[in-house]
Structure 1
């Protein structure tokens, strides 16, 4: 038992007796017995890895493919999106995904579900709102540690930046956002959600040259998804109002 603890074979330690009983009942060979223990150990370690990675990623809770209403977004191609969710090739080539659409159409939901899929496939993911990310980058720049922070973010195969359009533009914010985009260009992937099309990104990047340069780097190796539909939240509010009015009658 001490040896199993030293080797950190937790599943072996916890389950060997029950698996031994099953092996005896079913007349397994020694090889079958050892294989069952090894498979259980591998499964437990993978579950623990996914749990740690999800905690690290800080993805919004409860947003998965199984509870996303694709029928609500006719402009979205589910097959194309699912293709990205089933492979890591796009991450390994440093490609990006850009998701555009009005507020409340499920952009955050889709980005979170895709992030979860990448974690399940063995990649490291980090989810940040654009506002929170900019605040971190600004602070790092003031402390002369921006390059250090950019290098730390390199540990993530996918960096999800949610609601880019809500960033309050200023020269400082423009600078740090552009430096992040330029730093990850053709090296590490970004998934960006925004409610503003490229034609309105001058509201995010007040310097037109920087706006063009940022967009150019993002779209060079990118797939763009459009999510044009009525807000889910608006629909839910309307249903709730209608239900309340019906109850009051």
Structure 2
């Protein structure tokens, strides 16, 4: 958390970042939703929150949502689905990075609901996404499952909206090259 940029215009002031870094939200079994454009620092903040939790003795897992859904599909196929869900439920902080990056299938929606249901009011989930929460229902697809997913995450979450340009561009090794036509 100490490396997270709280410069003016980013959407997160230093006191709020310190508050998140204290992990009181983990103790209270609350969630964090980090929104922002590509390169804004969502994944960095999600990882920093997981690391802060580990420093305070909590178990954490950071995983891209598409990869988690793929792993759950494999677990279903090889008969270890219940064990995979149980392992995810035991993690104090689960960071779902790149949430709603791609459309989900019906099975993926149901898998995600199972994960979030097992965690609700028992542990904390961090979600990073480019999609504003008001658009999650449409992006998730099926209305009743979207309601159930959002109900288990959004209403118990601290919302962080990162603003500003790409942090990757700011940290680039070489200046941006523009093409010229000859």
TM-score by length of 2: 0.87
What secondary structure sits across from 1:169 in the alignment? coil
Runs of 4+ in 1 over 4 A off after TM superposition: 235-239
Structure 2: gaps spanning 5 or more residues: none
- CA–CA distance in structure 1, aligned partners of residues 143 and 63 of structure 2: 25
- CA–CA distance in structure 2, aligned partners of residues 73 and 116 of structure 1: 25
Structure 1: gaps spanning 5 or more residues: 1-63
Mapping of residues 8-27 of structure 1, within 5 Å: none
Match of 2:93 in 1: 158
Match of 2:13 in 1: 77
Match of 1:133 in 2: 68
Whether the 8 Å CA contact 2:94–2:126 is kept in 1: the answer is yes
Deviation by residue 1:13-66 (Cα, 9 ceiling, x = unmatched): xxxxxxxxxxxxxxxxxxxxxxxxxxxxxxxxxxxxxxxxxxxxxxxxxxx523
The change in CA–CA distance for 1:238 and 1:137 in structure 2 (over 3 A counts) is same
Q: Which has the larger radius of gyration?
A: 1
- CA–CA distance in structure 2, aligned partners of residues 144 and 206 of structure 1: 27
Match of 1:198 in 2: 133
- CA–CA distance in structure 2, aligned partners of residues 103 and 130 of structure 1: 16
How far off is 1:165 after superposition?
A: 2.2
Deviation by residue 1:160-192 (Cα, 9 ceiling, x = unmatched): 111102243111111111111111111111011
- CA–CA distance in structure 2, aligned partners of residues 228 and 101 of structure 1: 6
Higher relative contact order (CA 8 A, sep 6+): 2
Mapping of residues 86-105 of structure 1, within 5 Å: 86-87=22-23, 89-105=24-40
How far off is 1:153 after superposition?
A: 1.6
Mapping of residues 176-187 of structure 1, within 5 Å: 176-187=111-122
Whether the 8 Å CA contact 1:125–1:157 is kept in 2: the answer is yes
Counterpart of 1:215 (choices 130, 150, 154) is: 150
TM-score by length of 1: 0.65
What secondary structure sits across from 1:71 in the alignment? coil
Cα RMSD of the aligned pairs, angstroms, is: 2.3
- In the comparison of the two structures, how many residue pairs are matched? 179
